[in-house]
Amino acid sequence: MRLLLELTVFFGAVAALNFAGLRRAARQLLVIMVGYQVLAYGRIGCLLSH
């Protein structure tokens, strides 16, 4: 549940920036978020197992 909430909030922020016309900021945040999720792979596995 927590993982789903986290993804919804952060990727929702990317969508909001995009819809606001701040596409460059949206792309930058998206790259940061995807990088963070890749680096936090172990934590994601822990969240999925609970």
Q: Where are the beta strands (DSSP E) in the chain?
A: none
pLDDT digits over 20-50, tens only?
999 999 999 999 988 988 888 777 777 777 6
pLDDT digits over 3-17, tens only?
788 889 988 999 999
- The number of domains in the chain is 1
Range of the domain at 12: 2-49
Residue 35 to residue 32: CA distance in whole angstroms: 5
Phi and psi at residue 14, to the nearest 5°: -65, -45
Q: Give the pLDDT confidence score for residue 36 in this predicted structure.
A: 86
46 to 6, 38, 42, 49: CA distances (angstroms): 14, 14, 6, 5
pTM of the entire predicted model? 0.72
